[in-house]
């Protein structure tokens, strides 16, 4: 791994507490160190409850670490307040979720423009034009007037990708972004992610699908709140090769 890190987790621990201050504790992460270089594509894998989604949420500033430092694109997220995080997230991070999370009463074009609207970036016409360009880029240039329920699952996920890229963020995160799609749609979605990565976007995604993970340049395996393996894939589609320590 060469170049400057765009994502750095240093001795990160995350503990959740159920039922308030006196509730039982669950340690999701236990001393995680992770560096991701700008322009990398990284897959995070592991069994359910291993902590992989917690890592994504920490990188996105959705969760805060119980201990340790989270630095993304030069900003220490654990030192920022909620208002600062919201502004930072809007310009730095795009997120694609498993279940799309589109606004059901907004059209595809309105969903794709939503981050721009929230950030009040540009005029209404400029925001509409950006959304139209991103929808065209994901193959939905003629579907901008459709509501989410009028679109297939694959089309809804394309809209979610267009929305995630609305503000041109340097980092795209995916939490099981293909987990609700069939195999053909999964391959289509990964092609879009790969194109974004080849254009310079850093892509980090969680997946339980080992075949999909192997398509990334690097696989980080998580178990019981710790990184247990960090492998580099020699060739896309080839078996992963473990890095020498």
**Domains held by the chain: number:** 1
Q: Within a 10 A sphere around the Cβ of 52, how many other Cβ atoms?
A: 28
Domain membership of residue 245 (yes or no) is no
Mean pLDDT within 235-240: 46
Two tokens, residue 238 = 């080839």
Using 50, 70 and 90 to split pLDDT, how confident is the model at 216? very high
Domain membership of residue 221 (yes or no) is yes
pLDDT digits (tens, 9 = 90+) for 133-183: 999 988 899 999 999 999 998 899 899 999 999 999 999 999 988 887 888
Domain membership of residue 19 (yes or no) is yes
How far apart, in whole angstroms, are the C-alpha atoms of residue 14 and residue 48? 16
**Of the ranges 18-22, 117-121, 149-153, which is most confident?**
149-153
Q: Which residue has the higher pLDDT, 203 or 1?
A: 203
- What pLDDT does 239 receive? 45
Average pLDDT, the chain: 89
What's the gap between Cα 101 and its chain centre?
14
Using 50, 70 and 90 to split pLDDT, how confident is the model at 118? confident
Range of the domain at 50: 5-239
DSSP-derived secondary structure for 105-146? TS-HHHHHHHHHHHHT-S-HHHHHHHHHHHHHHTT-TT-TT-
- What pLDDT does 244 receive? 37
Domain membership of residue 133 (yes or no) is yes
Beta strand pairing status for 67-72 and 5-17?
antiparallel
Using 50, 70 and 90 to split pLDDT, how confident is the model at 2? low
Mean pLDDT within 230-245: 56
Domain membership of residue 244 (yes or no) is no
How far apart, in whole angstroms, are the C-alpha atoms of residue 32 and residue 123? 42
Mean pLDDT within 84-108: 91
10: β partners: 69
Q: Which segment of 126-140, 202-216, 228-242 scores lowest on mean pLDDT?
A: 228-242
Domain membership of residue 104 (yes or no) is yes
Phi, psi of 137 (to 5 degrees): -65, -30
Kindly give, in sequence order, each residue whose CB lies less than 8 Å from that of residue 117, ignoring residues fewer than 6 positions away: 127
pLDDT digits (tens, 9 = 90+) for 73-83: 999 999 999 99
Domain membership of residue 39 (yes or no) is yes
- How are strands ordered across the β-sheet holding 171-175? 93-97, 171-175, 202-206, 41-45, 218-223, 226-233, 240-242
Using 50, 70 and 90 to split pLDDT, how confident is the model at 242? very low
Domain CATH code at residue 115:
3.40.50.300
Domain membership of residue 62 (yes or no) is yes
105, 116 Cβ separation under 8 angstroms = no
- What pLDDT does 97 receive? 85
Residue 240 pLDDT greater than 80, yes or no: no
- How are strands ordered across the β-sheet holding 67-72? 25-37, 5-17, 67-72, 75-76
Q: Is this structure's pTM higher than 0.85?
A: yes
* Nearest CA-CA partner of 38 in 10, 12, 1: 1
Mean pLDDT within 56-63: 95
Mean pLDDT within 43-48: 94
């Amino acid at each position: 791994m060469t170049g400057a890190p765009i994502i750095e987790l240093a001795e990160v621990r995350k503990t959740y507490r159920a039922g308030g201050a006196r509730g039982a504790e669950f340690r999701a992460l236990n001393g995680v160190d992770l560096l991701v270089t700008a322009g990398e594509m990284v897959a995070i894998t592991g069994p359910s409850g291993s902590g992989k989604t917690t890592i994504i949420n920490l990188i996105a500033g959705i969760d805060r670490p119980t201990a340790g430092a989270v630095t993304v694109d030069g900003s220490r997220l654990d030192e920022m307040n909620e208002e600062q995080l919201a502004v930072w997230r809007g310009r730095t991070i795009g997120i694609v979720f498993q279940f799309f999370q589109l606004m059901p009463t907004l059209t595809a074009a309105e969903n794709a423009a939503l981050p721009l609207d929230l950030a009040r970036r540009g005029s209404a016409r400029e925001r509409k034009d950006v959304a139209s360009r991103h929808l065209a880029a994901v193959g939905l240039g003629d579907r901008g007037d459709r509501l989410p329920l009028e679109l297939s699952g694959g089309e809804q996920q394309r809209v979610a990708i267009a929305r995630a890229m609305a503000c041109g963020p340097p980092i795209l995160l995916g939490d099981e972004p293909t987990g609700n799609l069939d195999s053909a749609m999964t391959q289509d979605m990964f092609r879009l992610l790969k194109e974004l990565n080849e254009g310079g976007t850093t892509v980090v995604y969680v997946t339980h699908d080992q075949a999909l993970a192997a398509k990334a340049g690097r696989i980080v395996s998580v178990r019981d709140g710790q990184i247990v393996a960090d492998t580099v894939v020699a060739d896309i589609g080839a078996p992963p090769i473990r890095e020498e320590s």
